[in-house]
Chains A and B, each alone.
Chain A
Amino acid sequence: MNYFVEAFAWISDNLYGSNGVLARTWEHLWYTVVSVVLASVVAIPLGYLVGHTRRGRGLVVASSGAARALPTLGVVTLFGLIFGIGLLAPLVALVLLAIPSVLAGAYAGIEAIDPRTVDAARAMGMSEWQILARVEVPLGLPLLLGGLRSASLQVVATATLAAYVGAGGLGRFLFLGLKTQDYPQMLASALLVMALAVIVEGAFEIAERVAARRLHTT
């Protein structure tokens, strides 16, 4: 219990500076945002395609499952050996980590829509693109947000590995604390990551409520 007090003391002592808590937390958040956005660029269109055409689902689900099984530490070390130190290697690993959840959110969102709604839209003369944009995307939003939320949470928790190969983020404190047996510092980094996770959760909770209200689908 004493460690908690020391951890908070450590945080308040090390807030500022380029290696300080605020700077590293911001970096960590930034890595998370970039990873999830990049993952979405790949996963959302793919998910919509699979959900809308109802084709390719098996392949997508299988490769998604395999991607989920990838041990992030392994991927970071592998790409580290290829790309060198810095952000690129962990970024690739984090994007790979985020894709399965976002993908699942995208296609599950569309699959969950009542087929009769889609048929009605087709009967009204909407083109496939219009159906996608005006019917499926909005109705699929809640589940997509759920997928994004799950992905973001996973990335926040795992972005600590970026420091393993010389990048920044809250993992810096983690590894330094671990290697020098500095429990307060290590505990502090864990608490900061959790705090960040709570904030991300909160942000998505708000986003989901707003989306639900605007679609009247609470």
Chain B
Amino acid sequence: MLANLSLIASRTVSHLLLAIPAILLSFLLALPLGWFANRYRWSRATLLTAAGLLYAIPSLPLFVVLPTILGVGVRDRINVIVALTLYGLALMVRSAADALASVGTPVRLSSTAMGYGGGSRFFQVELPLAGPVLLAGLRVVSVSTISLVTVSSLLGVDNLGLLFVDGFQRGIMAEVVTGIVATVVLALAVDGLLVLAGRLMMPWARVRR
């Protein structure tokens, strides 16, 4: 395994280049959707059911069908990132909706009374307060996305999943195990970074305990 360290490293970088944009995009896109679901209650059930359905789409067909819609190659980075974003979005919308809902009307009303307008109220009051729940959702999305990237290796996209596919064909169990371990370690590392970022950005959230 040590001999292949550079291979693992380059696959890891490729893996991250696919996962991170998707995670960020899911988060950024889920916020307005979650806000919408929260503000207009009638849309909540529909949006959440749609999200559930989206998550149920098996990943491999999505990776193959998207290119015909997007007009890019199957192995193109953009194809994989869009597919991953859709899954991340499906998971994150519910979190975002729940997170913003947890802020509560009293807080919203009092902040309006204090003079916060719509936009600044969202960014300076609701978003920070929804932070911890949003972070929890983001952590689930990041772990799930990093794990899901590996499926695209069946199509030849460069990522840690290629280690399973190659190890499988050649019967080298160590390679498969390395692929699995590397993916898990990567997911846990990113998760740790998110927790760290959360603590830095929301120091008040720790006081609750």
User: A residues touching B (Cβ–Cβ < 8 Å)?
Assistant: 3, 65-66, 68-75, 77-78, 80-82, 153, 156-158, 160, 171, 174-175, 177-178, 183, 186-187, 189-190, 193-194, 196-198, 201
Contact = CB atoms under 8 A, between A and B. Distances in A.
Given A71-B161, A74-B164, A80-B168, A198 B61 contact: no
A163 to B, nearest CB: 11
Given A189-B58, A190-B62, A197 B147 contact: no
Contacts of A196: 56
A71 B183 contact: yes
Nearest to B56: A197
Given A68-B143, A69-B143, A81-B168, A74 B150 contact: yes
A interface, by DSSP: helix, strand, loop or mixed? helix
B52 A153 contact: yes
A207 to B, nearest CB: 15
B193 to A, nearest CB: 14
Given A74-B180, A78-B180, A186-B64, A153 B147 contact: no
A153 B55 contact: yes
B101 to A, nearest CB: 16
B205 interface: no
Contact of A73 (B61, B65, B140, B164): B164
Contacts of B55: 153, 157, 197
Contact of A160 (B60, B64, B177): B60
Given A65-B188, A71-B161, A73-B154, A78 B56 contact: no
Q: Quick one: which of B49, B60, B161, B180 has the most chain A CB within 10 A? A: B60
Given A80-B168, A81-B168, A198-B53, A174 B150 contact: no
A216 B64 CA distance: 47
Contacts of B61: 174, 177-178, 186-187, 189-190
B interface, by DSSP: helix, strand, loop or mixed? helix
Given A73-B164, A190-B61, A156 B147 contact: no
Given A66-B184, A189-B58, A77 B167 contact: yes
A77 B56 CA distance: 22
Given A69-B188, A77-B165, A77-B176, A194 B56 contact: yes
Given A66-B188, A69-B143, A153-B55, 4 more contacts: A69-B146, A74-B161, A178-B61, A190-B61
Contacts of B25: none
B173 interface: yes
Nearest to B144: A68
Contacts of A74: 150, 161, 163-164, 176, 179-180, 183
A153 B160 CA distance: 25
A185 to B, nearest CB: 10
A69 B149 CA distance: 11
B184 A156 contact: no
A213 to B, nearest CB: 19
B51 to A, nearest CB: 11
Contacts of B146: 69
B171 interface: yes
Given A69-B187, A74-B183, A77-B167, A174 B60 contact: yes
B57 interface: yes
Contact of B65 (A72, A80, A187): A187
B198 to A, nearest CB: 15
B60 A70 contact: no
Contacts of A68: 140, 143-144, 147, 187
A208 B176 CA distance: 40
B53 A73 contact: no
A71 B52 contact: no
Contacts of A81: 168, 171, 173, 176
B16 interface: no
